[in-house]
Structure 1
Amino acid sequence: MAESVDIESLRYPVGKLNVPKDVSKEQISEWIDTIELFPSKVREITENLSEEELDWKYRPDGWTIRQVVHHVADSHMNSIIRFKLALTEEVPAIKPYHEEMWAELADSEAPISISLSLLDGLHKRWTLLLKSMSEDDFKRKLFHPEQGCDLTLTFMLGLYAWHCRHHLAHIKQGLESAGQF
């Protein structure tokens, strides 16, 4: 990785989140596909990594590849719960969490096979849920206390599809860095 790469490029290798206001059915379908395929893509690039490679970081002061894999499992568990809350309650307030602190807990040092297995099952269920949703379901909202506003499930779907691409790129970056960070 060239030294001239700035930290923002390393933090946001696929760009910052940008969910359009108007979203087509085709875009929703693409986002669902991203979520459906994510576990197999993560598994494909991580399953044969050594312990040393799993400890490579994707940027200075960033997480290790191992922490990224565990983070996406944590984050996506929260996401499916948020979707279910919004589908069964009227504008529920979600519970934010300190993801940076979760990444420092002991289970973030566990073998990634645990989180890969979790992602497999979780994303299968999440995809089933997403594919069953109607247009009106995607208009349902939840309240995000940190952002101080209501967010639609369409926005949340776009966010998590981006989240998949974002962290997949981080894992690839960590491999390309070969322990440089």
Structure 2
Amino acid sequence: MNIYKFGQFVCRVFFKTFFRVTVVSKHNVPESGPVLLCSNHISNLDPPLVGAFLPRHMAFLAKGELFSFKPFGVLLHALGAVPIKRGGGDRQALKAGLGVLKENQGLVMFPEGTRSKTGELGEGLAGAGFFATRSDATVVPCAVVGKYRPFAKIKVIYGRPIPMDDLREGKSSSSEATERIMAHIAHVKANGDTPYIEERE
């Protein structure tokens, strides 16, 4: 068992011990090829929860400061975290995330960029759309539903892949792509793993 699998095991034990976790439709996440998994963000526990129950290795973007203590930095690297420096980190984050996808790996990101204090879905940042339109990754919406209270019910739902070909072929903006991703996350959060029907005028 490698360190990533061991980390997943520890996280699964933690979540199953302290919360009543339900995992819905993880089969929607391809087990191979580039995958961009986009989720809502309500807690610092979201990244390990979202990644713990998937059968594949997933990478995460993380603040560079977390890697300053070398033993912990080595562990984070082993667990799939990609360090991003503060300041001019946007360009670095985009380059690092795109590199993960071009290597046919999985990348987890939270398009809101910060945790929601109310639990309501906020506005998505353009980075998610950038990764979606600049790569061939399968884009999967995800929603964490519930509250991280001891022994409370919490659900992680992996939605159906989002169609992106029209946006890629039409060279749509990153913001347009992010809007679609956020609409699908909102649908998964409200309706679970049901087909998304885009409203058209």
Query: TM range, normalised to the smaller chain?
Result: under 0.3
User: Larger % of helix: which?
Assistant: 1
- In the superposition, the TM-score normalised over structure 2's length comes to 0.23
User: Larger % of strand: which?
Assistant: 2
User: Larger relative contact order (C-alpha < 8 A, sep ≥ 6)?
Assistant: 1
